[in-house]
Amino acid sequence: MPNDSKQIVLDYSKIDMASIDMHIDTSDYPDFVDSYILKADYDGREMTDAELDVLNDDSDFVYEQVLKRIY
């Protein structure tokens, strides 16, 4: 059976960093592993749930965004 799901590849330069809305869980400071991105704009449109899943799988990116917002 063929796999019809497409691999989502994000070009991070197309993410509007100012549009990122996050849930930041400070209970696991300093790791913030339970924090995640709720929504963001990508190439002029709101990101889909699938795109947000891919983005949130990039824990380094999420962690970097948390640090930018709390410090």
Domain coverage including residue 55: 12-70
Closest listed residue to residue 22, CA positions, set 2, 9, 41, 36:
36
Q: Would you say residue 7 lies in a domain?
A: no
Summarize pLDDT for 17-71 with one digit per residue, the tens.
Answer: 999 999 999 999 999 999 999 999 999 999 999 999 999 999 999 999 999 999 8
* Residue 58 burial class via C-beta count within 10 angstroms: exposed 0-12, middle 13-18, buried 19 and up: middle
Predicted confidence band of residue 6 (pLDDT cuts 50, 70, 90): confident
pTM (two decimals): 0.86
Burial class (CB in 10 A: 0-12, 13-18, 19+), 10: middle
Q: Can you say how many angstroms the Cα of residue 64 is from the centroid of all Cα atoms in its chain?
A: 10
Asked if residue 17 belongs to a domain, the reply is yes
- Tell me what pLDDT residue 11 has: 98
Total domains present in the chain: 1
